[in-house]
A and B are shown apart, each in its own frame.
Chain A
């Protein structure tokens, strides 16, 4: 039963962005009339194929702009591939730039419910987990204040605490572990370890090779619009480092 083993499969995936040359009607209409090109294609990567097995913990590495975050967005279903197919088996939870759905005027409590709903939780699921979210965030005394009075660290702590209570099957993490003070960071990492040990598939994007080495079982390296290497963490990180030295 090979199929059941696979959490994510990219099949010859190409992602183009079309950039509009003309941003407004005023520029767009004449261009259309004179037959100028109105869109410009920009290929992030092409023909990327890989498989990620259930329970794997995969780091995605590569320089800025190579398409690491785009891969996460494709997995999350936020973006669609221009060519190729993506198969995702299991519930995906993003830990991408936490707090996207937070509203500054609402209280911490209201934001927990709002953000929980954005992550696909039902009211009852949030009710059941509320105390645990509160404990993890260590924000009990501030929970009924509007979060615009929170510090940025408190803000992130609340967002992270909600996100980890989603019970994901596939967790996608984008550079967020630089959150909060050292103690909270350690807490986050131990929670991620816990996820890893309980068989959650984790896709982890980071610039920090030490973090990837310490945490991931395998890695994907993308650069120059293509998949460069996929394999065990040590080898792939080494290739990336060698490339960077050149």
Chain B
């Protein structure tokens, strides 16, 4: 199994993985006054602007039954989406930006993609503090179902990693991929119930959301965090299977190209 083999290699090189994560995190905002605060400021500003546009101007409703303020409703979807989209687009260029390493020294190349993904999760955890603050400020009730967030998050990461591996390897051979990816991500965001609730979508288009793991994942976050209910098990299982399939396919493609990385970068 190539997955187990790769895991073993990564564990062996874990010191490098942590150093690369540290490099991503530490170096990014080194010469800036606000430093790491930008990680929080960015999603906050985005959320405020989008809340104004979509709830004050366009009056998109939140989930039918609840009294959740739009800003919180939006943020529960927007944060994981931002994580997903940032992980993908940064992973996509992670191999290319480390070209000088790839052509000189041997180490498992998956580490570059993994390090980017982990660095983005760290950013996400910082940004999460705003959501926690908002939820306390608006006194949103939560219950034990919130623990579902952990498995949902793991499914999201499996899916993200699978796609990241694929796009990173493909981008090394054709730089068009990174531009294509940005386009795809933009369209994908509107086809995922982030700025609108899934229940206002006409019935005949709902199948689109069943096939879109990100839609299932975002819905599941909302159901468990804001609704206090259980997620839709069937959809979540399908998402899990799709995610694992994506990871295996992405890794297989990555490994099949790995041998010629240094020749082509």
B residues neighboring A (CB under 8 Å) = 13, 15-16, 18-20, 22-23, 26-27, 30-31, 100-107, 173-176, 259-260, 262-264
CB pair B19 A105 closer than 8 Å: no
CB pair A78 B15 closer than 8 Å: no
CB pair B262 A100 closer than 8 Å: no
CB pair B19 A25 closer than 8 Å: no
- Can you report 22 A-B residue pairs in the complex whose CB atoms are below 8 A from each other? A18-B263, A24-B175, A25-B174, A73-B103, A73-B262, A78-B102, A78-B103, A78-B106, A79-B259, A80-B259, A80-B260, A96-B104, A100-B101, A101-B100, A106-B26, A114-B23, A117-B15, A118-B101, A118-B107, A119-B105, A120-B107, A122-B15
| Contact residues in B for A150 (Cβ distance below 8 Å) | none
Besides A79-B262, A113-B19, A114-B19, 14 more A-B contacts (Cβ < 8 Å) are A76-B104, A76-B105, A78-B104, A80-B259, A97-B100, A100-B101, A105-B27, A105-B31, A106-B27, A117-B16, A117-B19, A118-B101, A123-B15, A146-B30
CB pair B23 A106 closer than 8 Å: yes
A70 to chain B, nearest CB (A): 10
CB pair B16 A94 closer than 8 Å: no
CB pair A100 B23 closer than 8 Å: no
| Contact residues in A for B105 (Cβ distance below 8 Å) | 76, 78, 94, 96, 100-101, 118-119
| Contact residues in A for B106 (Cβ distance below 8 Å) | 76-78, 92
Q: Which of A17, A118, A119 gathers most chain B CB within 10 Å? A: A118
CB pair A25 B101 closer than 8 Å: no
Contact with B along A117-134 (1 / 0, CB 8 A): 111111100000000000
Q: Which residue of B lies closest to A22 (CB)?
A: B174
Interface residues on A, range: 20 to 34
CB pair A25 B16 closer than 8 Å: no
Q: Taking the complex as formed, is A215 at the interface, i.e. its CB lies under 8 A from any CB of chain B?
A: no
Q: Which of B100, B174, B263 gathers most chain A CB within 10 Å? A: B263
| Contact residues in B for A79 (Cβ distance below 8 Å) | 259, 262-263
Q: Taking the complex as formed, is A103 at the interface, i.e. its CB lies under 8 A from any CB of chain B?
A: yes
Q: Taking the complex as formed, is A28 at the interface, i.e. its CB lies under 8 A from any CB of chain B?
A: yes
Q: Taking the complex as formed, is A138 at the interface, i.e. its CB lies under 8 A from any CB of chain B?
A: no
| Contact residues in B for A101 (Cβ distance below 8 Å) | 100-101, 105
Instruction: Tell me, in angstroms, the Cα distance from A119 to B18 when the chains sit together.
Output: 14
| Contact residues in A for B18 (Cβ distance below 8 Å) | 117
CB pair B16 A24 closer than 8 Å: no
| Contact residues in A for B31 (Cβ distance below 8 Å) | 105
| Contact residues in A for B23 (Cβ distance below 8 Å) | 103, 106, 110, 114
